[in-house]
Amino acid sequence: MATAYVNGTIYTMRAEGDRCDAFVVDDGKFLYCGTEAEARRLSGGNVVDLAGATVLPGMIDTHQHLFAYARDRLKLNLKKAESFEQLLELIHQRAQETPAGQWILGVGFDHEKFTDRKALPSKEELDRACPDHPLLITRYCLHVNVANSLALKAGGIGPGFQPKVDGTVEFRPDGQPTGTLLDAAGADLAALIPDALSTQDGRKDAVEAACRELNRHGLTGVHAIQGLHCNLPEFTSVYQDLADEGRLSARVFLGFDRLPGCSIRTGLGDDMVKFGFYKLYVDGNMGGRTALLTQPYEDDPSTCGVPNYTQEELDRQVKLAYDQNIQVGAHVIGDKAAEMLTTAIERARADRPSDDPRCFRMIHMSLLNQDVVDRVAKLPVVVDIQPMFVSTNVRWSETRVGHERAKYHYCWRTLLDRGVILTAGSDSPCESFAPMDGIYAITTRKGMDGWPADGWFPEERVTVYEAVSMYTRNAAFVSYEEDRKGTIEPGKLADFVLLDGDVFATEPEKIKDIGVEKTYLGGKLVYSRE
């Protein structure tokens, strides 16, 4: 049945400021966008009054670890720990409630924001808080883990232990592990832990609940990405089963860190679940100092970070996917990693140039330098950024790289001005996936507490329209679905969201306070605040 939606502030996102008075939804798609009178006529009188709400296309998060978020909702949440002592207290409380010998997993802490000390805990400190349980806690970035002695013992990690990737287990001068495990070493230990979501039904229930949380923040689509070296799995069958059962409330575009074992290409699937891209992890992260830099860290001159590939290995992997018509998406945080990826893309295109920027997704691109910016601007690429990074990292970024290099930390205005297409994701469960939080972050370049007052390198701010485009039309473009979603116009899937404030008429500092009233997927209501 055709339904008209009227009496709202409806932004189509076809162009900046483009609006319509009403639209009609029929059979899961937008049938008409235009005047209220014509919408009422086409609907045969079946009308929904939007009561003045602001309407946007359904928003799409182009970078999430969705299953990890679903799984982490069952773990000890350490995000609220504001100090080292509070971290230990939260762990101790969970230990008191947990049978001895049972694993305890904690997620989401950030030692950089602690008020009493800005250092990772040692295994001995964790032992005091949790002496009778193997414990593994994971920093919010997902690249840094700390284990207590029982957990290390379970993983066979002691003096002389040789990790698969050099530098991913931290040792003291006497050869004893400190408890800190980076990237692959943390994932290897986590793989030994009994899986609370080991059944298909359990996984489906957890993912369904997670998708409902996405809807609550106005998200109708997500690019769900696997990263096994960080213990971030994804399960195609979970999403397919949920879609078949009518339980999947967000459209999923999947990225995997392994190439498929058969001859499939990007885009295989349907409007609910599609195979997306091949995900590579070139380096680590800035918080754990594993991001690969061209110069040493300002606060640890002994290291420039940790590469996951040689240039030759990266070249081979990028070209292998490119030659199979599989979209390449590569994680790069440091400027040296960005240089390596740029080189790999240049070499992959040498024999078979393509002008389609969607062949290559440069993910994060956190710290750059002028040479990288100049080279990237000459390439047809899409850069997938995480707006919340600037907000959560603002107080400590310069301690890692110094003020001069920090000018190129999250230099997104610079990339836009050079013609680079940007999309927005959250890297959840690392960061908040609420688009209004991300739009606030990228338009103000402030922490969620409003610091600094004038913004951090404010010349790199983007406009609200540019930010919303990253979550809508640009996000649809990068998944080859610009003819299916991303804007409100006839023939496209009727994914849209109702907000309680006009994002384009609100001061950027207040955008994070805008709430979602309702979310629709294919014309079906999947979230209502009422």
Tens-place pLDDT, residues 511-523 = 999 999 999 999 9
Alpha helices in 261-387 (DSSP H): 311-323, 335-351, 370-377
Does the pLDDT of residue 433 top 80, yes or no? yes
Q: What confidence score (pLDDT) does residue 288 get?
A: 84
For CA atoms 352, 358, 363, 369, give the dihedral sign.
positive
**Most confidently modeled of 28-42, 99-113, 156-170?**
28-42
| Token duo for residue 187 | 């994932």
DSSP tag of 513: G
Which tens digits make up the pLDDT trace of 240-270? Answer: 999 999 999 999 999 999 999 888 999 999 9
User: Would you tell me how many other CB atoms lie within 10 Å of the CB of residue 90?
Assistant: 19
Question: Where are the domain boundaries for CATH 3.10.310.70 in the chain?
Answer: 77-190
| Token duo for residue 272 | 């609910």
Pairwise pLDDT comparison (283 vs 167), residue with the higher score: 283
Report the topology of domain 3-52: Urease, subunit C; domain 1 (2.30.40)
Pairwise pLDDT comparison (274 vs 261), residue with the higher score: 274
Helix (H, G, I), strand (E, B) or coil at 359: helix
User: Would you tell me how many other CB atoms lie within 10 Å of the CB of residue 196?
Assistant: 13
> Please, which pLDDT band fits residue 184 given cuts at 50, 70 and 90?
confident
> Please, which pLDDT band fits residue 193 given cuts at 50, 70 and 90?
confident
Q: What confidence score (pLDDT) does residue 339 get?
A: 98
Domain 77-190 has CATH 3.30.930.10: no
DSSP tag of 517: E
For CA atoms 424, 428, 433, 439, give the dihedral sign.
negative
**Quick one: average pLDDT of 363-381?**
98
* Alpha-carbon gap, residue 19 to 101, rounded angstroms: 60
Q: What confidence score (pLDDT) does residue 230 get?
A: 81
**Quick one: average pLDDT of 26-44?**
97
> Please, which pLDDT band fits residue 463 given cuts at 50, 70 and 90?
very high
Q: What confidence score (pLDDT) does residue 134 get?
A: 95
| Token duo for residue 268 | 């295989």
pLDDT, mean over the chain: 95
Does the pLDDT of residue 195 top 90, yes or no? no
> Please, which pLDDT band fits residue 229 given cuts at 50, 70 and 90?
confident
* Alpha-carbon gap, residue 298 to 357, rounded angstroms: 34
What's the Rg (C-alpha) of the chain?
23
> Please, which pLDDT band fits residue 142 given cuts at 50, 70 and 90?
confident
Peptide bond into 452 cis (omega under 30): yes
> Please, which pLDDT band fits residue 178 given cuts at 50, 70 and 90?
very high
Q: Which residues contact 348 (CB under 8 A, 6 or more apart)?
A: 315, 318, 319, 322, 323, 328, 360
Does the pLDDT of residue 196 top 80, yes or no? no
Q: What confidence score (pLDDT) does residue 74 get?
A: 82
Q: What confidence score (pLDDT) does residue 458 get?
A: 97
Helix (H, G, I), strand (E, B) or coil at 172: coil
What are the C-alpha distances in Å from 171 to residues 119, 167, 180?
Answer: 15, 9, 8
**Quick one: average pLDDT of 292-303?**
96
In sequence order, the β-bridge partners of residue 516 are: 499
**The residue type at 308:** N
* Alpha-carbon gap, residue 425 to 64, rounded angstroms: 7
What are the C-alpha distances in Å from 302 to residues 12, 25, 299, 305?
Answer: 51, 60, 9, 9
Q: What confidence score (pLDDT) does residue 236 get?
A: 97
Q: What confidence score (pLDDT) does residue 73 get?
A: 87
Alpha helices in 130-259 (DSSP H): 149-154, 184-190, 200-216, 236-244
> Please, which pLDDT band fits residue 524 given cuts at 50, 70 and 90?
very high
**Quick one: average pLDDT of 27-50?**
97
**The residue type at 24:** V
Compute φ and ψ for 346, nearest 5 degrees. -60, -40
> Please, which pLDDT band fits residue 64 given cuts at 50, 70 and 90?
very high
Question: Please, are residues 225 and 232 in contact by the beta-carbon 8 Å criterion?
Answer: yes
CA 433, 439, 443 angle in degrees (round to 5)? 145
Pairwise pLDDT comparison (77 vs 39), residue with the higher score: 39
Its pTM stands at: 0.87
Which CATH entry fits the domain spanning 61-66+199-520: 3.20.20.140, 1.10.3720.10, 1.10.10.10, 3.40.830.10? Answer: 3.20.20.140
Q: What confidence score (pLDDT) does residue 364 get?
A: 97
For CA atoms 515, 517, 522, 523, give the dihedral sign.
negative
* Helices vs strands, H then E, count in the chain: 17, 22
Compute φ and ψ for 293, nearest 5 degrees. -110, 155
Which tens digits make up the pLDDT trace of 198-215? Answer: 899 999 999 999 999 999
User: Which of 279, 177, 179, 194 shows the shortest CA–CA distance to 230?
Assistant: 279
Question: Where are the domain boundaries for CATH 3.20.20.140 in the chain?
Answer: 61-66+199-520
